[in-house]
Amino acid sequence: MIFIFGLFLLTLLVITAIAIVRTEDLFVAVMLTSIFSLLMAANFFILDAADVALTEAAVGAGVTTVIFLCALALTDDKEKPRQTGRWVAFGTVGVLALLIIYATFDKPRLGDPDAPVHQHIAPWYIEKTTEYIDIPNVVTAILGSFRGYDTLGEVFVVFAACIGVLFILGVSPPQKTRQVVEKNSGLRHHLIPQVVGRLLIPFIVLFGLYVQFHGEYGPGGGFQAGAIIATGVILYALLEGEAEALRAIPRRVLLGMVVGGSLLYGGVGVACMFMGGAFLDYSVLAANPIFGQQLGILIIEAGVGMAVCGALLAIFHAFAAREILT
């Protein structure tokens, strides 16, 4: 049954992807991209990757769609026709598709117990997580402790991406002679979105906090929680207007979250070194090494959540603050 549902999702993904490529209406392309992300989230969920499904649903279908719509307000709603170079693009995509299909021939089948990953790496993590960290969620233990360096690098990638986008959007529009469209104040005068949105926002934020602090026991963690909480704040901005959202969480606080979250993660690693351990060796943070590991994961996950939430909201406000020209 799962196989049939997965095949059905894969078919929908292919149809949606072709529709995205074929359409010349950018608004339709954005909506189809959001549908594609929802289908991918469902696909990740049936593959037992609930953490990734949460992130894909919050970022791909939620935040990214809103940011695409903000970007769409700054440009035309139709794709500029391209007369040359189409065959080069088709050829490149075709070659890459053939390479990817060829690479899948060496992959083990889904759930194969004889796959290389199940012979050494996965059993070691499952066995040592209980001994060294003692938390039920092995994925959190791997991302936060065993491979904490990788996660730290991802946090600084988020930090660098946020700074880069803010620099690009900080450049003034070149066409000063065109008329500037006055922005509205969200959906304040629309009753149904106001009622539904006000009911949803507290539950979205509460679920984000649950995902943040429940990451040791189930699917979740800082990346997912930061994206979910940012989705709730962006929904508030759409309902009440950008000015009200910035009054609730000022821009300097958002930038402080991005910088502070990254520094908090790195600071835990430096603190471990001052306490006699290696960088990001949380065992020295407490007298009991296992409790030290749990404490370190909790702190760095808080840093990840702050950085992701601050980055997404800062990018959203950077798009929304751009003047809309006609």
Angle, helix 2-22 to helix 26-46, in steps of 10 degrees = 160
- What stretches of 98-228 adopt beta strand conformation (E)? 180-181
- Assess if residue 247 is contained within a domain: yes
pLDDT confidence tier of residue 98, bands split at 50, 70 and 90: very high
Domain span holding position 253: 138-325
Does the residue 249 lie in any domain?
yes
Domain assignment of residue 219, yes or no: yes
Domain contains 80 = no
Q: Buried b vs exposed e over 210-244: b needs ≥16 C-beta within 10 Å?
A: ebbebbbeebbbbbbbbbbbbbbbbbbbbbbbbee
- Selection from 307, 311, 315, 255 nearest residue 151 by Cα: 307
Q: Answer yes or no: is 218 within a domain.
A: yes
pLDDT band at 176 (very low <50, low <70, confident <90, very high): low
Q: Please list the residues that pair with 324 across neighbouring strands.
A: 181
How many helices (H) does the chain have, and how many strands (E)?
Answer: 13, 2
Give the pLDDT score at 186: 63
Backbone angles phi, psi at 181, to 5 degrees: -80, 130
Q: Residue 118 falls within a domain, yes or no?
A: no
Residues 129, 134: Cα–Cα separation, whole Å: 6
- 79-93, 157-171, 213-227 — which is least confidently predicted? 79-93
Neighbours of 31 (CB within 10 A): 16
Report the length, in residues, of the chain.
326
152 assigned to some structural domain: yes
In a domain, 93, yes or no: no
Q: What is the mean pLDDT of residues 50-65?
A: 84
Name the domain count of the chain.
1
**Whole-structure pTM value:** 0.81
